[in-house]
């Protein structure tokens, strides 16, 4: 069994680049939907450490990346010093002049305030500008979320009464259906010209340690308020729950379900 060490920092950019490169590798497929053109002005919303912004720039577009994690922006600036990156929130960013496109990969499932994110995206675009996004859709990581919630409920060991919220309230994600998200977009003045919800089982790196790494990188909200020993106990129990379904031939596979959207500002 591999060791688990609990990181101190929520968005550890080195861990992200080292063990979770699949996030932007899968995002390359979304670039085909964006189809960036030379001379276009494009925002990469939730750019992480900058890899997809760089690809957009290589297509000849003028790109800017924003992310709400200062650690990610610092690393993006180190990786691609010729590009512009800023710290900003998806739900209240502003741009100086209207853009041709807003692109976003694997970020909007972190933004529960979808209405304000869509309002920011809308005001950032020219009329006729496009919003091209992929993120976790309805049913995403359902088995992992359920295992975390069941484990936390069953544990019952709380450091202090009322100190920890109920497991479901800890869930940091928003995984909408096509109908739900398309309605929000239409209500704010977008034409939704493409939408797809599909399963994409996603193999994790690092063999046996794959799901523990994933939980520490992406699901740390579920572990809030627990001691290091309790966090390790939760991760071990979740591994046991999930092993029969998500661990095969030495590789963990996360039960991802993606939503892809292309919408045009009217
Ligand atoms: C996702 O890309 O679907 C995802 C990533 C981290 C946490 C939850 C979902």
Q: Whose CA is nearest to atom 9 of ligand 1?
A: 136
pLDDT for 146-192, tens place per residue?
999 999 999 875 444 445 567 768 889 999 999 999 999 999 999 99
Cβ of residue 109 lying under 6 Å from some atom of ligand 1: yes
Neighbours of 173 (CB within 10 A): 16
Question: In the CATH scheme, what architecture does the domain 13-265 have?
Answer: 3-Layer(aba) Sandwich (3.40)
Least confident of 180-184, 217-221, 258-262: 217-221
Q: Can you give the residue ranges of every domain in the chain? A: 13-265
> pLDDT value at position 26?
86
Nearest residue to 202 (alpha-carbon basis) of 13, 55, 14, 27:
27
What is the rounded CA–CA span in Å between residue 29 and residue 7? 31
How large is the average pLDDT for residues 43-52?
96
Name residues whose C-beta falls within 8 Å of residue 78's C-beta, 6 or more positions apart in sequence. Answer: none
pLDDT average, residue stretch 25-35? 92
Q: How far is the CA of 69 from the centre of ligand 1 (A)?
A: 16
Using the Cα atoms of residue 145, residue 151, residue 154 and residue 158 in order, give the sign of their dihedral. Answer: negative
Average pLDDT score over the chain: 92
The response to whether residue 216 sits with its C-beta less than 6 Å from ligand 1 reads no
Residue range 124-144, pLDDT digits in tens: 999 999 999 999 999 999 999
In this predicted structure, what is the pLDDT of residue 22?
80
Contact 24, 52 (CB under 8 A): yes
Q: What is the pTM of this model?
A: 0.91
Residue percentage of the chain with pLDDT more than 70: 91
In the block, tokens 């680049």 appear at 17
Q: Which residue matches tokens 């060791």?
A: 3
173 lines ligand 1 (CB under 6 A): yes
Pocket test for ligand 1, best of 107, 173, 197 (most atoms within 8 A of CB): 173
**Considering only CA atoms, which of 162, 153, 149 is closest in space to residue 222?**
149
Mapped to the 3 state alphabet, what secondary structure does 217-263 carry?
HHCHHHHCCCCHHHHHHHHHHHHHHHHHHHEECCEEEECCEEEEEEE
Q: Mapping DSSP to helix (H, G, I), strand (E, B) and coil, where does residue 33 land?
A: helix
Taking only the tens place, the pLDDT of each residue in 72-106 is: 999 999 999 999 999 999 999 999 999 999 999 99
Cα separation, 57 vs 94, in Å, equals 21
Q: How confident is the model at residue 15 (pLDDT cuts 50, 70, 90)?
A: confident
Q: Phi first, then psi: what are they for 73, rounded to 5°?
A: -65, -40
């Amino acid at each position: 069994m591999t060791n688990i060490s609990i990181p101190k920092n929520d968005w550890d950019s080195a861990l992200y680049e080292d063990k979770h490169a699949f996030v932007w590798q899968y995002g390359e497929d979304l670039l085909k939907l964006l189809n960036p053109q030379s001379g276009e002005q494009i925002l990469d919303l939730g750019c992480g450490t900058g890899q997809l912004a760089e690809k957009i720039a290589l297509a000849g577009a003028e790109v800017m990346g924003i992310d709400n994690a200062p650690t990610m922006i610092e690393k993006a600036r180190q990786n691609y010093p010729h590009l512009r990156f800023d710290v900003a929130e998806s739900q209240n960013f502003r741009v100086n002049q209207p853009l041709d496109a807003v692109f976003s990969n694997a970020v909007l499932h972190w933004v529960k305030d979808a209405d304000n994110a869509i309002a920011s995206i809308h005001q950032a675009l020219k009329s006729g500008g496009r919003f091209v996004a992929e993120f976790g859709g309805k049913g995403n990581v359902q088995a992992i979320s359920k295992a975390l919630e069941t484990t936390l409920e069953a544990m019952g060991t709380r450091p202090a009464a009322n100190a920890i919220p109920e497991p479901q309230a800890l869930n940091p994600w928003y995984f909408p259906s096509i109908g739900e998200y398309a309605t929000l977009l239409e209500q704010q003045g977008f034409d939704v010209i493409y939408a797809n919800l599909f399963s994409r089982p996603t193999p994790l790196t690092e063999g046996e340690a794959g799901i523990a790494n994933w939980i520490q990188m992406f699901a740390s909200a579920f572990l809030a308020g627990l001691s290091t020993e309790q966090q390790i106990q939760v991760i071990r129990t979740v591994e046991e729950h999930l092993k029969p379904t998500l661990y095969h031939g030495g590789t963990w596979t996360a039960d991802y379900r993606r939503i892809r959207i292309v919408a045009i500002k009217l």
